[in-house]
A and B are shown apart, each in its own frame.
Chain A
């Protein structure tokens, strides 16, 4: 914690002492403490916005020297209770804070890393924190061990799981009519957080869009994500260039909106191309993403193969574009004309 917040920390620490430790009174009081805990919860909820920091401070302060197993359980229980939606990361913040806090008693640490007791993950009030860290490490390690054998997942197992969670989150936000802007804000925040690892995020989006939609709510979420994606031109282009052709074809087959968006991106890439006389090749003028003419052709061929009905309309459209370029049958004059002939070649090769 930096110095400037020192006094706030001190203030918050003392609050935590009275709230978390305060609950730890006599056994009799605790037995009848339902109402009492409710009141504590209210106090915390009143300060909802500062709750994350509050817990973070708890994890960083010397107060934790006094903590025992019960205090820990209570802290984790609270972190979960304030979790409604916005503050979902409380538990994680609390755990990271505690593990980084050298003041945490060794007995607590040993308890967290103990794996002599069987796995016991329950969502109930008395969640047993014994071995919590050991279980996390076990799951992570087991995943690493199995990763080389999961090549059947196009997007990757972790991306698929993250996609599932993303969609659940969207479902929840969109189920409340007023939350549409929040859903958008949520996606924006995630996108921002994923800067520097955008390709992985593309995989997550792909997996999310391929989620089976069994209910109206799920369909709404997928459509919302598609609409949002269409507004994010850079991200959409990254999706179209970073994902494997198999995944793109699946998406185009599955989601009509994506099919059109994908086609628009491909057209945009084509219109960005200029003929380089020195290379004797069409070259994309703007980088990000860099796409070769050959790659672009492959994208088109793949798309039309997957969606043959699209081809009939597009052939006309490309032809019109070619005509507007002068309708020459000479290579290097119209990107549309050259694309048309290459696509035709590609499609006929695949057919034969």
Chain B
């Protein structure tokens, strides 16, 4: 004992702080069996740090050669663990309980080498036996003994009953609306939610947790404990993949109550959909629906505002990422659908959900193309294009006056953000351009260009507009019914427009590709003629997989009914045929070619 620390300190593993152990022991002593409200509150507050400490302790036990050594270094370890065993908040918490038992078994010596280790073994068995088999009173013991129900079943039944009773209690609602001077049943909400901190991962308590979360906020005293929300949020995010605990509505309520859990959920969703860039639009829609977030957004405006803010900032950072745009659009679509399901009950107008968007654009953009006759699209889109042009011109005129410039930038960004959210109109634009007369094409091309290149600061909108017009001028004669075989000069010019340009590497050819695919699908040219052109262009420019992608999303949009075509059957057959051709081309490519041709769009 004269030099107990020397051999221990020679070990490489960091040693547990003896003083910290002493502090935790003092805590454990103060908590007792967590019978008083203060002790309960304090246990809940420290539960997550206690878990960390138990984990450290466990590592320490495993790294120490014997129980005798451990007890020399930490003489109070038995007292500490023993006290925790009788703190119901600690033993109710799954992680704490697991660590606690692991520590006890870590101290158990399979071949005790001295009396101390033998005693420790006895004590460990005794504590665990008592914890399992001891009942509060003899009556319970007798009754359970005679009822023919196994102990586990009995305790499970009591727990379920208790959960139901507490649930009933908190469901009673506020008895004294507004009168803060008197006690009301809401007083117990805070305490009850606190008590649920160790129970957040207990499946049996899920109905109670759901009830707490879904309790209407009618009384100032009915607030939920922050510790409870934090515990729930971290438990939920670690179970995010299988969501085994809470019912849908409870999860929505959790997001409503806890901003951090909502942020966590949105970021997890974005991570999972963006990591999976190869997934189809259909799969994306499924993932979004499964995430419950569109539904939650429709139910609570505040949730939608938070989610939209996250989208806004992601879009600012990754503006050129088509995948992000697609997520935002698909999400908004889903949200609008969920909202319309709730509509009979909805009293809040759309303006509340989109407070920052240009209000004159809101209604026209959120309308689905299928909601109006196709003959009206051109007029609708012309109007949109004109409105957006005015916004961008105002912004550019203000370039000198710095105070209003930021405001102008903001307005243009919000308009563009809304356009991204309502990208179904861009599909309609591309489709209309196929049959547009030369005098009608300018506003449509301007709209398409604005979507892909919203500013002149780095996006070179003006240059892109010229490029798109060029492309359109070549596409029209190429897909003319009369042009057979396709005029070779237009074909070459189109290939040049779509090829990577060393002078302007930042310019993405996507708007042009979008146009090309739409021409192939919607033009009146024969299928074989259209296929030949598409095949030639994408082969020479190495955009096969990108074209497959555009076709895929086009098909889904048409299936979703957002862009109805008068001859939808013919269109679908053409899409299928074009997809087949391109897929075969893609399959025939060598892996190296595939790699080289994959453009970051």
Chain A interfacial positions (CB closer than 8 Å to B): 80, 83, 85, 88-89, 91-92, 95-96, 99-100, 102, 106, 109-110, 113-116, 119, 121, 132-153, 157-158, 160-162, 164-166, 168-169, 186, 189-190, 193-198, 200-201, 204
Contact = CB atoms under 8 A, between A and B. Distances in A.
B1 interface: no
B156 A166 contact: no
A200 B158 contact: no
A173 B13 CA distance: 63
A138 B97 contact: yes
Nearest to B121: A102
A153 B155 contact: no
Contacts of A160: 161
Interface string B175-203: 00000000000001001100100110011
A100 B156 CA distance: 23
B205 interface: yes
B169 A91 contact: no
B101 A113 contact: yes
B132 A142 contact: no
B149 A165 contact: yes
A152 B170 CA distance: 10
Contact of B132 (A83, A99, A166): A99
Given A106-B110, A193-B143, 10 more contacts: A95-B132, A113-B105, A138-B94, A142-B198, A142-B202, A146-B166, A146-B208, A148-B191, A150-B162, A196-B138
B518 to A, nearest CB: 52
A157 B165 contact: yes
- Scoring B150, B161, B168, B188 by chain A CB atoms within 10 A of each residue's CB, the highest score goes to B150
Contacts of B304: none
A298 to B, nearest CB: 26
A160 B160 CA distance: 11
A161 B158 CA distance: 6
Interface of B: 34, 88-89, 91-92, 94, 97-98, 101, 105, 108, 110, 121-122, 125, 128-129, 131-133, 137-159, 161-163, 165-166, 168-170, 188, 191-192, 195, 198-199, 202-205, 208
A189 B143 CA distance: 10
B125 A158 contact: no
B133 A99 contact: yes
A234 B101 CA distance: 46
Smallest CB-CB A-B distances: 3 pairs: A88-B148, A193-B142, A197-B139
Contacts of B199: 142, 145-146
Interface SS majority for chain A: helix
Contact of A152 (B132, B137, B153, B169): B169
Given A102-B122, A137-B132, A193-B142, A149 B166 contact: yes
A80 B105 CA distance: 29
Contact of B152 (A136, A149, A189): A136
A200 B98 contact: no
A151 B172 CA distance: 13
Nearest to B189: A149
B158 A157 contact: yes
A194 B132 CA distance: 21
Contacts of B146: 88-89, 169, 186, 189-190, 193
A153 B165 contact: yes
Nearest to B148: A88
Contact of B163 (A106, A134, A146): A146
B186 to A, nearest CB: 13
Nearest to B153: A121
Given A139-B159, A139-B204, A149 B143 contact: no
A111 to B, nearest CB: 11
Contacts of A91: 150-151
Contact of B148 (A83, A113, A151, A201): A83
Contacts of A194: 138-139, 142-143
Contact of A149 (B98, B125, B155, B169): B169
Nearest to B188: A149
Given A85-B148, A143-B158, A200 B139 contact: yes
B151 A144 contact: no
Contacts of A143: 155, 158-159, 162
B159 to A, nearest CB: 5
B147 to A, nearest CB: 4
Contacts of A189: 146
Contacts of A114: 101
B169 A151 contact: yes
